């Protein structure tokens, strides 16, 4: 029943960070242990989007794919992830984005709560998942620095 919550302030706008986390297809490019991500379906209603996606994670010789439902709510600056199928007994994940000061930076809240179905898999991957989840917000912040920082766009 590992659970992890972190809140960190970053020097990017809440809208930028929301867009970065919402762009799930890009996760394999920068997210620890994420080897593949495929969006099965996408339903849009106004500015809200509901995705169903398969994510393959790996560590050494172990590969697992799980399916989750991702609810993107830009109006409330929230991304909710609910587990559908795979190696977990359950998985709940939530992102929140709140502007700070003049809005040029924001506070990100990352929450995850999960449990593997298999005790063996929990023993094999549990520690690595804990480490990876703790590094997720850092990975997104580094990615935002690459994409949104002025010095990442020469001549801009």
Cα 66 to Cα 10, 46, 77, 88: the distances in Å are 29, 28, 25, 8
Q: Judging by DSSP bridges, how do beta strands 34-45 and 88-100 pair with one another?
A: unpaired
DSSP state of 27: G
Whole-angstrom distance, CA of residue 37 vs CA of residue 57 = 9
pLDDT tens, position by position, for the chain (156 residues)?
A: 678 888 999 999 999 999 999 999 999 999 988 999 999 999 999 999 999 999 998 877 878 899 999 999 999 999 999 999 998 899 999 999 999 999 999 999 999 898 888 887 787 666 776 677 777 778 998 999 999 986 644 444
Structure tokens at 39: 């969006």
Delimit the domains of the chain by residue range: 3-148
What 3-state class would DSSP assign to 101?
coil
Q: Which CATH architecture has domain 3-148?
A: 2-Layer Sandwich (3.30)
């Amino acid at each position: 029943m590992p659970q992890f919550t972190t809140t960190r302030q970053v020097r990017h706008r809440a809208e930028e960070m929301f867009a970065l986390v919402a762009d799930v297809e890009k996760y394999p490019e920068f997210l620890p242990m994420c080897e593949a991500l495929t969006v099965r379906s996408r339903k849009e209603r106004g500015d809200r989007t509901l995705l169903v996606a398969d994510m393959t994670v790996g560590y050494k010789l172990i590969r697992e794919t799980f399916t989750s439902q991702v609810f993107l709510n830009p109006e409330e600056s929230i991304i909710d992830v609910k587990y559908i199928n795979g190696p977990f007994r359950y998985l709940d994940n939530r992102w929140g984005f709140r502007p700070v000061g003049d809005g040029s930076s924001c506070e990100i809240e990352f929450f995850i709560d999960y449990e593997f179905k298999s005790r063996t898999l929990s023993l094999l991957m549990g520690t690595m998942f804990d480490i990876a989840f703790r590094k997720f917000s850092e990975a997104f912040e580094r990615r935002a620095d690459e994409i949104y920082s002025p010095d990442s766009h020469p001549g801009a």
